Each structure stands twice: as structure tokens, then as C-alpha cells.
Amino acid sequence: MNTTEIKILLEKYYACETSLDEEKILKTYFTSGRVDENLRVHTSIFTCLKNESSIKPADELEDKILEKLHAAARIPFYRNRIFWIYSTGIAASILFIFTFVFEMQNQKTNTLHSNLSHSEKNTKIAYEQTKIALAYVSEKYVRGTEPLSEVAKFSKSTIAVNELVKIGNEINTINHNMNKMGSGVDNLSKLSKFSIIVKP
């Protein structure tokens, strides 16, 4: 690849428009040792990047990791930090829920109590008001019934009239009976006349 092409690719590289393959071309070019002196700055960058990718940890790291994994597997679950974090979290949540529910219940009871005492007060007031109203009504009623005593007299007189009517009826009955008796007497007199005739 010639310098011009590399320069174009470099432009793309700094604008992050290159693919991984194009970046590999740049890396290969700049670490080849045959680089244009004007592009020296880029040589140092790509050499540094290539150098970085070949860095490896110490050989003991793998042993250390395995040792740590064994140790982690040996730790009983209750000695595990995560176990305690989760347990504490769950316990705190339960405690919070209980506190919340208890507080809600308390609030409900308090509201009920306050509502009751409030309604009790209201009832007393209503009772007093009703008492006053009823006293007023009864006073008016009593005053209103006074003229009705005359009506009572009227009813008394109607009783007397009824008695008179009864007496009248009885008299009528007596009259009726008397009439019957009269007619009976007539018949008897007729019968006596007949017997006189029949008597020798």
C-alpha cells in the first residue's frame, strides 16, 4: 500500500470510519519498519497499540485464580458476603412491610375512633336540637288542643243523643208490641162475642 492510500486510511481511522480489517492493515503497515518519516507519529501509536495487545499477565495469575475459585467454592453459603447482603435486604424489606402494614392499621383505627367520637358529638347535638324542636311542637300542640275541649262536649252530647235514639227505639218497640197486644185484645173480644153467640 502506498503512502497516499495509507494517508486516506489514516483520515478514516481518526474519524472512526475504518473497519477492523482496515485497522489491521494500518497496524501491519506501521509496525513493518518501512514507514514514511512524515508518518512517524502514527508509527509510535500503532506500535504502542500492538505492543499493548501482546502484554500478558504473570504465569502465576492462573494459579491464583484457580485458588480463589476453590476458596469461593469452599466457603459455606452463610459465610458468603452476598448471602448476608441478600438476607439483610430481605429482612429489612419484611420489617418495612410489617411496619408499614402496622402503621396503616393504626391509622385506620385512629381514624375510626376519631370518626366515632365525632359522630357521638353530632348525635348529642342532634338529640338536644330534637328535644328543643319536640318541646316546641308539643307546646304548640297543647295550645292547639285547648279548643278541642268543646269538641269533647259535642261528643258527650252525641252520646246523650244516642241514648235518646235508643230510648226512642225502645218506645217504638213498646208501641209496636202494644199495637200487637191491641189487635190481640180485639181478636179476643171478637172471640168472646162468638162464645156469647155459641153459649146456649
Partner 1 sequence: MTKQEFVNRVMPVKDKLFRLARRILNETDAEDVVQEAFVKLWSKQAEISAYRSVEAFAMVVTKNLCLDKIKSKAYQTGGLDEWNAPVDYKSPDKMTELKNDVEMAHLAIASLPELQRMIIQLRDVEEMEYEEISEVLQMNLNAIRVNLSRARKAVRDQLKKMHDYEYNGN
Type of residue at 183: S
Closest CA to 77 of 65, 85, 66: 85
- The stretch near partner 1 (CB under 8 A) out of 10-18, 110-118, 133-141, 168-176 is 10-18
d(CA 24, CA 174): 151
Neighbours of 23 (CB within 10 A): 15
Region 79-138 residues binding partner 1, contact defined as CB under 8 A: 82
Region 19-48 residues binding partner 1, contact defined as CB under 8 A: 20, 23-24, 31-34, 40-45, 47-48
Among the listed residues 7, 9, 25, 49, the single contact to partner 1 using CB under 8 A: 49
Residue 68 makes contact with partner 1 by CB under 8 A: yes
Q: Which is nearer to partner 1, 55 or 196 (CB)?
A: 55
Closest CA to 46 of 1, 12, 16, 13: 13
Q: Taking a C-beta distance cutoff of 8 angstroms, is the pair 29, 35 a contact?
A: yes
Residues that bind partner 1 (CB under 8 A): 13-16, 20, 23-24, 31-34, 40-45, 47-58, 61-62, 64-66, 68-69, 72-73, 82
